[in-house]
Amino acid sequence: MDRSITSIGLMSGTSVDGLDVCCANFTLEGDDKWSFRILAARGYEYPEDLRRKLRDEAQNMSAREFVAFHSAYGRYLGERVNDFIREFGTKADIISSHGSTVFHEPDKKLMFQIGDGAAIAAVTGIPTVSDFRRLDIMLGGQGAPLVPIGDNLLFGDYDYCLNIGGFSNISFQENGRRVAFDISPVNYVINHYTREIGLEMDRDGDIGRKGQISQGLLDKLNALDYYSKPGPKSLAREWVETAVFPILDDSRIGLEDLLRTYYEHCAQQLARVTTPGRQILVTGGGAYNKFLLERMRELSGCRLTVLEAAIVEYKEALIFAFLGVLYMLDRPSCLQSATGAAKDNIGGMLFKP
């Protein structure tokens, strides 16, 4: 019997640019064939004080301040959902919230996605699922990536699904299983350095395009231990701040050369994990970086496909909406093959107002 559920997904990535909201209707035809229709999608830029707290301050707050911020950010998310519903007139059976990653050290069983799901549910009056990573980490997994189940069931026609945001991550079928992992930091690094000259991003990759590759710097980046580790594996801001930024800062080269070298690094890391001639679906903010995609296409030898803006910009929010649907149907959303957990599991906590 067909089943149709409408869900709102909330996504805030590592770059902490803002909040993506996507409302979509998902239809299950029979036992395992899914279709979807995006009803509305919108991005909300964070106020500067909120961006600063999420990006720079939350990790160092006192316990009392942190809990208060967790609640306040949850209320903020609920208020944006209410704004979204008023603007588009959508209705939803469930809200599914990613939250914003403050701590992610799975080897230490340490993680926290800030943004209280109870506050979202209370503000909106809609059942809300949040905190999707915790159970997977307690089962020995990375708690990430979470999108592979959506890649498999909604975008399975592509050989690879590549999302380029704060980090690049990829998923694909291998020996009958969905394999997924983070490839490398991307916008989290690029935006860090462009902010030093007052720009939020390197639009179209134009700054890096003008530079020259520093082979010494490129060799150091490519030699980082993470890249030789087998999956499942995931990256977090802590690793970038302790392993990547020091290498880039010590290079003491100009911004154009630094970004040119870093783009080459990102493209080379994609080429390491893909097979030439295959088709890659590209989403995320990095899909608009023309120079980065040129280098990725050239070095990987793959066909890169960029779909309509709603999917490019809101695919992760769309898949988070889908995770809420899977939760309602009591189906796993965290795949053992992608996260390394002891078993597939149904992550998340449900709050019903």
Residue 159's CATH number: 3.30.420.40
H or E element at residue 188: helix 187-194
Q: Is 33 in the same domain as 97?
A: yes
User: 101 with 301: CB under 8 angstroms?
Assistant: no
What's the predicted TM-score (pTM) here?
Answer: 0.86
Q: Is 230 in the same domain as 191?
A: yes
Task: Provide the domain limits for residue 29.
Answer: 3-147+310-351
CA dihedral over 45, 50, 51, 55, signed as positive or negative: negative
**pLDDT given for residue 1 in this prediction:** 46
CA 229 to each of CA 18, 55, 224, 234: distance values in angstroms, whole numbers, following the listed order: 31, 27, 10, 10
Q: Is 131 in the same domain as 34?
A: yes
Q: Is 161 in the same domain as 295?
A: yes
* DSSP conformation letters of 133-170: SHHHHHTTS------HHHHHHHSTTSSEEEEESSEEEE
Residue 73 φ/ψ, nearest 5 degrees: -70, -35
**pLDDT given for residue 2 in this prediction:** 63
SS3 277: coil
User: Which amino acid would we find at residue 258?
Assistant: L
Q: Is 324 in the same domain as 278?
A: no
Q: Is 88 in the same domain as 75?
A: yes
pLDDT higher than 80, residue 14: no
Q: Is 139 in the same domain as 202?
A: no
Q: What is the mean pLDDT of the chain?
A: 95
Q: Please count the structural domains in the chain.
A: 2
Report the alpha-carbon distance of residue 8 to residue 25 in Å, rounded: 9
Report the alpha-carbon distance of residue 175 to residue 353 in Å, rounded: 43
Among candidates 157, 160, 154, which has minimal Cα distance to 276?
160
Q: Is 174 in the same domain as 228?
A: yes
**pLDDT given for residue 75 in this prediction:** 98
Lowest mean pLDDT among 31-35, 39-43, 160-164, 256-260: 31-35
pLDDT higher than 90, residue 158: yes
Q: Is 108 in the same domain as 227?
A: no
Report the alpha-carbon distance of residue 347 to residue 133 in Å, rounded: 6
Report the alpha-carbon distance of residue 19 to residue 35 in Å, rounded: 25
Residue pLDDT, tens place only, 220-278: 999 999 999 988 888 988 899 999 999 999 999 999 999 999 999 999 999 999 999 99
Q: Is 108 in the same domain as 160?
A: no
Q: Is 82 in the same domain as 173?
A: no
Among candidates 315, 317, 312, which has minimal Cα distance to 8?
317
User: 112 with 100: CB under 8 angstroms?
Assistant: no
